[in-house]
Structure 1
Amino acid sequence: MRWMACELHSHTDHSDGRQSLQELARGARALGFDCIALTDHNTMTGLKDRESIEQETGMTIISGMEWTTFYGHMVTIGLTEFVDWRPAGPGDIDRGIEQVHAHGGIAGMAHPYRIGSPMCTGCFWEFEIQDWNKLDYIEVWSGTFPSIKTDNARAFRLWTERLNEGFRIAATSGRDWHVQEQTETPLSVTYLLLDEAEGSVTEQAVRALAAGRASVTMGPLVTVELRSASAAYGIGDCVPEQDRTERYEAVVNIDFHVRAGLWEYPEAGYTLVLMSNSGSIGEQQASLAQSDYRFAIPGDAWRWVRAELKGTVRGVRTMIAFTNAIYASAE
């Protein structure tokens, strides 16, 4: 298995972007990405030269489309063919998600709390989700330097609330990338853990996100593993009832070498926090000199666990990275 650096929300001149797919792929490669999802608004025509551009740039390009409606924007990824967004009304988005799944894709809420109409038609999510089990992920970080934005903080809380309610929903970041331009503003990356079992890299990436095998960061890659006496569980896994025990060891790894030279936080003063449905269950100071951190946690204190890395960026104390969850079986 391997981690792949992904940008999961991007646009070209086939919708409202000001870049070609080739320019997007080259730009993503220069920023240390391995993969991009092309999610133009309500069209998939921008993918027509995908294979040749993948060969030229070495970039994996995932098919996608951003459903852009009056009631919200929904990013769909991994579609094998166009799925019509127009029938989706405010009370029946579940049916739309089912259609996306039927055509090999997954679906996520895009920037759910961004300012909506009339500033941005449909950017604020107003669809009524009847069954949260159907939704695959929530884009909790949108744009550049996403961790300091109030709308993203609301999206992050929404994700956490759904985890607390027992839903297994992944969290991602997305730049909502429209144009090639130089920026010194921190960029986020969604790392997906590919199983490499079968199928194309695109199929592996979609499986990874659907399973919640994802870690989000503006810098180092943070991963977490939960160990019992008999087994080890990674991000996206669910600890079965028969392996519930009185105590676990959580092992968090911080890889400070990913995308080397493309980010630097010299005054970060890193703090690593192990979070669960009951709040913080462990905290340690972290540094570039150490990669592995271990936490002993009681078995009955959590229904889900994730790792968060905090630090000072541009003079602001903020979250720098977080993992998706490891779950405990409710059965």
Structure 2
Amino acid sequence: MNDAQKRWLPFELHTHTFHSDGKQTLLELAEGAKALGFSGVALTDHNTMTGLAGKEHVSRQTGVEIIPGLEWTTFFGHMVTLGIKEYVDWRNLSPFHLHRGIEDVHRQGGLAGVAHPFRVGSPMCTGCFWEFEVSDWRQIDYIEVWSGLFPSIQRINARAFAFWTDLLNRGFRIAATSGRDWHVPGPVSEPVSATFLGLSAAAANPESQPLADAAVDALRHGAASVSVGPLPLLSVRTEDGRELAGIGEAVMIPQGEPRKAVLASLSVDFAARDGQWELQKRTVEFRLNSNRGELAATELSRDRPVATCPIDASGVTWLRGEMYGVMHGVHTMIGFTNPIYFDIH
């Protein structure tokens, strides 16, 4: 599906209330999320789901969707689980038996994601550094590659982003998200990241599917784009204009058919969470990166928010967009899309 045909909504996917180590109620969290332009939050308290009591009332009162979740907090790493209906016990997880817990999450239709894998561990943050042995990365649904405020300038996040890229190069199709790890209410002075999830028009209809479930499904299929500013989007089509794939989708190439040039459609939605961020230059640089390295780059702005770049798809297995700009006096990555994949069948 064309990304423009999806409804891209901003979510915060890693939060806490006083039911674990946060200092806010669920209502305060939702009110804070609304003030920051979020459509929804995932409540991921440490090893408990008691904070979700009354979430329907909070959603009706604030208009902010609440995705049920839980952060497994162990000595060997933290894992955020989303979209689960019932508590999943974390206490029998050893460094070598992580998949037992993941299977329980998947049985409920939920997602399991690695949280802040390179954050400093004990004694500063017990278990924050990821030490679980993952025997099959295909069972991991996503990695929180951006954590905290103004995440792109943090070294731990650069490591996580590079780790995710290496997994993509090894052939694993794992989504990437951001997570503030939000504990405390109140205003912030640093850029706040959002994970935009691409919902189809039908999926976003609450009569056909609850918004929280539609958001989890979008992430399950890799329809996610991350930004501290405007929303970067990416799709590919043939030279004659036929749509091939959007974010999280795969371009199907018949066996034996040579990979020809395709057109990459790059766009930036500058209206997304407008007023919640400020760029210090009128333009952003949009780069196309892949397993073959950088393939193209162009500048986009409110006056020119869309561009088309021909690329040679030979040898390409994944393709993503990366958006760079100047915030708080720093030139840095301010957003990225999840990949489009290339399949031979």
TM-score by length of 1: 0.97
Partners of 1:293 and 1:269 in 2: CA distance = 13
Partners of 2:227 and 2:342 in 1: CA distance = 24
**Is 1:127–2:137 an aligned residue pair?**
no
* Residues 330, 245 of structure 1: alpha-carbon distance in 2 compared, 3 angstrom cutoff: closer
Say which is worse superposed, 193-202 or 291-300, in terms of deviation: 193-202
Write out aligned runs for 1:14-163 (5 A).
Answer: 14-163=19-168
Indicate the percent of aligned positions where both proteins have the same amino acid.
51
**Which residue identity is paired with 1:215?**
S
Partners of 1:174 and 1:73 in 2: CA distance = 13
SS at match of 2:56: helix
Partners of 1:254 and 1:260 in 2: CA distance = 12
Partners of 2:258 and 2:44 in 1: CA distance = 40
What is the CA RMSD across the aligned residues, in angstroms? Answer: 1.3
Partners of 1:38 and 1:210 in 2: CA distance = 18
Partners of 1:118 and 1:165 in 2: CA distance = 33
Q: Which residue of 2 aligns with 1:273?
A: 287
Q: Which residue of 2 aligns with 1:307?
A: 321
Unmatched 5+ stretches in structure 1: none
Unmatched 5+ stretches in structure 2: 1-5
* CA displacement at 1:330 relative to structure 2: 4.7
Q: Which residue of 2 aligns with 1:212?
A: 222
**Which residue identity is paired with 1:250?**
A
Partners of 1:311 and 1:144 in 2: CA distance = 16
SS at match of 1:328: strand
**Which residue identity is paired with 1:91?**
F
Report Cα offsets for 1:121-140 as digits up to 9, x if no partner: 00000000000000000000
CA contact (8 A) 2:278 2:327 kept: no
Q: Which residue of 2 aligns with 1:328?
A: 342
* CA displacement at 1:268 relative to structure 2: 6.2
Q: Which residue of 2 aligns with 1:239?
A: 251
CA contact (8 A) 1:306 1:325 kept: yes
TM-score by length of 2: 0.93
Report Cα offsets for 1:112-152 as digits up to 9, x if no partner: 00000111000000000000000000000000000000000
Report Cα offsets for 1:223-273 as digits up to 9, x if no partner: 000102443310000111328741100001101111121111123652110
CA contact (8 A) 2:223 2:338 kept: yes
CA contact (8 A) 1:268 1:312 kept: no
Report Cα offsets for 1:184-236 as digits up to 9, x if no partner: 10010000001233421111111100110000000000100010244331000
Write out aligned runs for 1:192-231 (5 A).
Answer: 192-195=197-200, 196-197=202-203, 198-228=208-238, 229=240, 230-231=242-243
Q: How many residues align?
A: 331
Q: Which residue of 1 aligns with 2:311?
A: 297
CA contact (8 A) 1:268 1:313 kept: no
CA contact (8 A) 1:309 1:322 kept: yes
Say which is worse superposed, 301-310 or 111-120, in terms of deviation: 301-310
Q: Which residue of 1 aligns with 2:277?
A: 263
**Which residue identity is paired with 2:89?**
D
* CA displacement at 1:326 relative to structure 2: 0.3
